[in-house]
A and B are shown apart, each in its own frame.
Chain A
Amino acid sequence: MQTSKKLFTLLFMMALLLSACGGAATAVSEEQATEVATATESSTEAATEAAAEISGDLVIYSGRSEPLIQPVIDAFKAKYPNVNVLLKAGSNSELANALIEEKANSQADVFITTELLTVQSLVAEGVFQAYAPAGVDQIPAEFIGEGNLWTGLTRRARVIIYNKDLVAEDEVPASIFDLTDPKWQGQVAAAGSTNGGMQAQIAAMQQLLGDEATEEWLNGLIANEVTFFGGHTDVRKAVGAGEFKIGLVNHYYYHLQLAEGSNVGVVYPDQGEGEIGLFTNATAAAVVNGSKNPAAAQPFLDFLVSAEGQKLFAEQNYEYPLLAGVALKEGVQPLDGFHLADVDVVKAAANFDAMFDLIERVGLP
């Protein structure tokens, strides 16, 4: 009895202590925020004053994983110090499910996705409200949703990453269809069925090649003992470490892995005559219908499309910015030189369900 009382007191005090620590940590981060705010204020006072008036919670559902969106949020926070950003990152379809579930009771202000099919199929569900961010006219029209229901942000290419220690340059597969070659059995890594980039690629292939050929390709991957990870970070790290010889990823994962010092190479596949071409995805953002804080959501979209925001995507994550005039990061191969797969996003989005059917049918992990 006596010991248990003592222990409980100890426990309680520990809890208090921890929560006090928690309070202290929050206080520090607020201080930092104010510091940043002060620094910004001195530079452009008038703009900041207007920005300071915008406040409240800004709930962002992001299909871009945390490390790929946090730097942008930090930069936005420096401009709008009074906005309290609440981030929920997950897979595109997981968040899309939540948005549909919450249609009558919306929680999010902004949705960010890593491919256009999800955002396009959500348009049909009436999940978004129209907003044309400042400077949207500088973005190619094909990357703007009908009626300004969403705005494209960046593009990324689906490429093959390989470990140069394990694969000679002339051996590297030049087509995604080579990944089913028994020569690579057990040595290929890719993202699994919950990954937006992979989903979009499958849907695009269904449109261009038909269900049967796509199913054959997926079955070929599975038969070839391709390892499917939850996300691309695992894929790039595994290829970088030599756990796998080749991987199917978005192009910037090659650059990120290279920046970590791995000896990796990249192939932009399917460029030959009569081949299907390079698959690309675009990331996009939209303001959610029923957003409780459009006053913060709109400037956030403005910021994503602004030169400053686009530069962050290009510099920090090697992506292809959609805003005209923003330079690519050094080393990133411009898309102009490639033969791109010709996919109709609207059509593909309408057949989104067929993609999930196929994934289930072949049992893609």
Chain B
Amino acid sequence: MELTRTNLTYQKIRSRISPRLALAAGLVALFVAVPLAYIFIRAVSAEPEAWQRLFQERIWKLFGNTLALVIAVTGGALLTGVTMAFLTERTDLPGKKIFRWMLAMPLAIPAYIGGIVHLSLLRPRGGVIPQLLENLFGQPVPTPSPLGFWGAAFILTLFMYPYVYLLSGAAFRTLHASLEEASRIFGRTPIQTIFQVTLPALRPGLMAGALLVALDILAEYGTVALLRYETFSSAIFVQLSGRYDRSAASVLSGILVALAIGILWSELQFQGRARFTQMESNWRPAPLMPLGKWRIPAFLVVLGVVSASLLLPVGVLLVWSIQAFLDPETMSMLFHTGSQGFGTYIWNSLWSSSAAAVIAVLLSLPVGLLAVRYPNRVSKFISRLCQVGYAIPGVVIALSLVLLVNRFLPFLYATPLVVVIAYVLRHMPQAVRASESALNQLSPSLEEAARMMGRTSLQTLIQVTLPLILPGLLAGGSLVFLTSLKELPATLLLRPAGFDTLAVRVWVWAGEGFYFQAAPAALLLVLASALPLSFLLRREQIFK
């Protein structure tokens, strides 16, 4: 608190905003705002007939479908995430050190890859498990289907809960022990304390996490398409590959983005309040809760979650990959498309995601500097505008970019650069948040000193600010890299011929039913995502 007040006085003294900085931040905001604005313009200017038709036939059903999935998965992720965090942070669960890692790792597995694995295992009658059971008992045994609403909700929960788990895990660790002690002194049982004190104290952080999950579900394409559950995103995708008319897709996109912006707005509200869960100097770890006779059941529950979301998908991919490598025909026939080979896919994935990470971090700098060093309404607006990427699903960004680039920047059309731009737009919020939090931790007095010693503002930025916030920027960049690597719908729609990424190959091969071919690409994708993820986890001091 004290520090913030000093910050404010500083900012009052040096309230003259550098015009160059303001211009740079403004340009970044413009870059982000144009595709968004364009979609709304297209949606509004669509023929009334298209609106009418869609409202009569599609929109209410899509609305219901999408909302039901958002609620189910967000609820599922909250329940799973908080339970897992509580068990690994606050109890004497056996093996909790290794579980802490394993519970976070599903973030490296794109949900559609998890879906492909679960589908191949559980598909009614055709899946591995139903067939095993049928062979065992000599007749078909009913098994839960991974298709449709419940399947999609189940699988998305499995791969989304880590968001909530990480946030609540950190909160459980940093929450002041005295809060809970006070509750116990006043006669609450440990269980009552959890529900009446601990969880309410964690609520802002949890809400922020849950709303991020909700935004991800709105944007999700691969998993729902695979499991044949229709949401706004998948309906837009179908529209785009259907009739020769973009107006219906534009209308659906406009509605989807409006919905997402509503969720993002509430998330930003909670973001502000989430700061209360901070460590203070007299912090000490809360005592562990003995599980007693519940140790084994709790262990099994955690093991079950880890198996379904990490061990099983990776294990199956590994087995398939080995089978692919053992079969020479698969190796020679299907490891290439056109004239392209497997190496090209790896290279395309790596360079496009890295480029997106670097660009997003560079663009986030002026926005972060302006918002943190000169907080006022305009800079706050710019910062929030730059977070709107969270609310624009990949299909919508793709639609907007196809129309915009082809009309106004035809020389860029059908180049891999458009794919990179899509990644930047979609994942810029992560970079902006990382830059802002890094700058928030850096006292402006260091920069002041450099200025007083006669450095120009640019010199100060390069010689003082950047080296000090570099770790934070790297974290932001890693996040952008990680999420770009997994990105599917925008890449599918925007890729020029011959520009296939690992994610695209997994999707296309799996779509043709060639799981053995898809597996090595999927496994590589998971490994390439696991590296930046473990870097992030270590950096955030979540695990030591």
Chain A residues at the B interface, C-beta cutoff of 8 Å: 1, 3-4, 7-8, 10-11, 14-15, 18-19, 21-26, 28-29, 33, 57, 59-61, 65-67, 70, 73, 77, 83-91, 93-94, 96-97, 100-102, 104-105, 107-108, 121, 193-194, 227-231, 233-234, 237-238, 241-243, 353, 356, 359-361, 363, 365
Contacts and interface: CB of A to CB of B under 8 A. Distances in A.
A233 B512 contact: yes
24 contacts: A4-B471, A4-B535, A7-B534, A10-B531, A18-B346, A22-B343, A22-B346, A22-B350, A23-B343, A25-B346, A29-B339, A57-B498, A67-B334, A70-B337, A86-B340, A91-B241, A101-B406, A241-B123, A241-B126, A241-B131, A243-B125, A356-B242, A360-B53, A365-B230
A1 to B, nearest CB: 6
B496 interface: yes
Interface string B409-433: 0100110000000000000000000
Nearest to B230: A365
A97 B334 CA distance: 27
Contacts of B413: 102, 105, 107
A93 B241 contact: yes
A117 to B, nearest CB: 12
B243 interface: yes
Given A102-B414, A363-B57, A87 B346 contact: no
A19 B242 contact: no
A107 B341 contact: no
B338 A85 contact: yes
Contacts of A121: 244
A11 B531 contact: yes
Interface string B512-524: 1110000000000
Interface string B525-536: 000100110110
Given A73-B338, A97-B240, A237-B126, A18 B350 contact: yes
B334 A60 contact: no
A85 B339 contact: yes
B350 A193 contact: no
Q: By CB atoms of chain A within 10 A, which of B333, B354, B402, B498 has the most?
A: B498
Contacts of A361: 57
Nearest to B512: A233
B498 A59 contact: yes
Q: Name the prevailing secondary structure of the B interface residues.
A: helix
Given A4-B474, A107-B413, A26 B344 contact: yes
A267 B495 CA distance: 39
Nearest to A241: B126
A23 B351 CA distance: 13
B455 interface: no
B359 to A, nearest CB: 17
Contacts of A231: 511-512
B244 A100 contact: yes
A102 B538 contact: no
A4 B471 CA distance: 7
A59 B499 CA distance: 11
A25 B344 CA distance: 8
B242 A193 contact: yes
Interface in B223-243: 225, 228, 230, 238, 240-243
A25 B528 CA distance: 18
B347 A19 contact: yes
A4 to B, nearest CB: 5
A105 B406 contact: yes
A242 B243 contact: no
Nearest to B131: A241
B225 A29 contact: no
A11 to B, nearest CB: 5
A66 B337 contact: yes
The 7 A-B pairs with the shortest beta carbon distances in the complex, nearest first, are A86-B498, A25-B343, A241-B126, A94-B241, A22-B343, A87-B338, A356-B243
A14 B531 contact: yes
Given A88-B495, A353-B243, A11 B513 contact: no
A60 B497 CA distance: 7
A77 B327 CA distance: 23
